[in-house]
Chain A
Amino acid sequence: MKKLFPILGVITAILLGYALYEALVVAPTEQTMGDVQRIFYYHVPSAWTAFILFFVNFVASVVYLAKRRPVADMVALVTAEVGVVFCTVVLVTGPIWARPVWGIWWTWDVRLTSTLVLWLIYVSYLFLRRFSSSGQTPLLASALAVLGALCVPFVYLSIRFFRTQHPQPVIGGGGSLDPRMLHVLLINWLAFSCFAFMVCWSRYRLEKLQREVDEAEAMASLMAPRGSVR
């Protein structure tokens, strides 16, 4: 496993570099928006990756609620954290794309607002994990994660059910995407998915180590003679 990590890290870095080249050089220029449309190759894969991470968080939280397995709790925490990072990218790149195309940075339409609400739910989850010292924290966080996950399909489907300024989905939405653009989009999604996996793996190792250190410190305080514990 120790050898696998750097190998996968190098493969991911090469893939990200190739995906960037495809997005900036190979993908055709969109006729109406011009080069600014290439933000699409970072914005959409980041959104899909965030949705997948929140889905894994949901599954891990359900497993934790059902079986109280610490591994499930760690997976839930890690995927929520990395999912928030990707969701932040979506919320930042979206307005940067909207400004030259729509003429505004932000509008309170259903897709944008529900994405912001989704982000706030998972940020609340992370705040709960970070600042609550109760033994019930993983349980409460799991319940919050299950509720938060209900928001994901709403965000995804909101552009079908409501009139919104946001474009329709590129796959299965009735719109036609140039096959070369779709190819570049999928390469970028693959690259960002591999990157997210590597980040989750690193964060999982950190969380595992953190818990081992906490446990060791707790044991050391119990074993220490009375009066010597601070």
Chain B
Amino acid sequence: MNGNGYLFAAYAITWMIHVAYLGTIVSRYSRMRAAVSRQPSAVR
């Protein structure tokens, strides 16, 4: 791999890590919303 390959790999992996973490937040948020809709009177 040449220098540009390492550079591309570093930038791509950085964004993969961030996107993966954002994905966990979004999926947990959807699950929470579903839980809230099951108990609409209990949670604002």
Q: Which residues does A use to contact B, with CB under 8 Å?
A: 20, 33-36, 38-39, 42-43, 46, 82, 85, 88-89, 92-93, 96-97, 99-100, 195, 199, 202-203, 205-206, 209-210, 212-213, 216-217, 219-220
Task: Decide: A33 and B3 in contact? CB cutoff 8 A.
Answer: yes
- Provide the B18-44 mask, 1 if CB < 8 A to any CB of A, else 0: 100110010011001101100100111
Task: Please determine whether B3 and A35 come into contact, CB atoms closer than 8 angstroms.
Answer: yes
Smallest CB-CB separation from B13: which chain A residue?
A92
Closest chain-B Cβ to A148's Cβ sits at a distance in Å of 20
Q: A34-B3, A39-B10, A42-B14 are in contact. Are A199 and B39 (CB under 8 A)?
A: no
The answer to whether A89 touches B25, judged by C-beta atoms less than 8 angstroms apart, is no
Distance in Å: Cβ of B30 to nearest Cβ of chain A: 10
> Distance (Å) between the CB of B13 and the closest chain A CB?
5
On whether the beta carbons of B14 and A213 are closer than 8 Å, the reply is no
Q: Beyond A97-B6, A199-B22, A203-B25, is A216–B14 a contact (Cβ under 8 Å)?
A: no
CB distance from B36 to the nearest CB of A (A): 6
- A-B contacts, 30 of them at CB < 8 A, read A20-B11, A34-B3, A35-B4, A36-B3, A42-B11, A46-B14, A82-B21, A89-B13, A92-B13, A92-B14, A92-B17, A93-B10, A96-B9, A97-B6, A199-B18, A199-B21, A199-B25, A202-B22, A202-B29, A203-B25, A205-B29, A206-B25, A206-B28, A209-B29, A209-B33, A209-B36, A213-B35, A213-B36, A213-B39, A216-B42
- Given A89-B17, A209-B32, A35 contacting B44 (CB threshold 8 A): no
- The A/B interface has a contact count, at CB < 8 Å, of 84
For chain B, which range describes its interface: under 10, 10 to 19, 20 to 34, or 35 or more residues? 20 to 34
Do the beta carbons of A93 and B13 come within 8 Å of each other?
A: yes
- Give the chain B neighbours of A219 by CB distance below 8 A: 42
The residues of B with any CB-CB pair to A shorter than 8 Å are 1, 3-4, 6-7, 9-11, 13-14, 17-18, 21-22, 25, 28-29, 32-33, 35-36, 39, 42-44
For B21, give the chain A residue with the smallest CB separation: A85
Which B residues lie within 8 Å of A202 (CB)? Answer: 22, 25, 29
B35 and chain A: residue at smallest CB distance: A213
A102 CB, min distance to chain B CBs, angstroms: 12
Q: Report the nearest A residue to B36, measured CB to CB.
A: A213
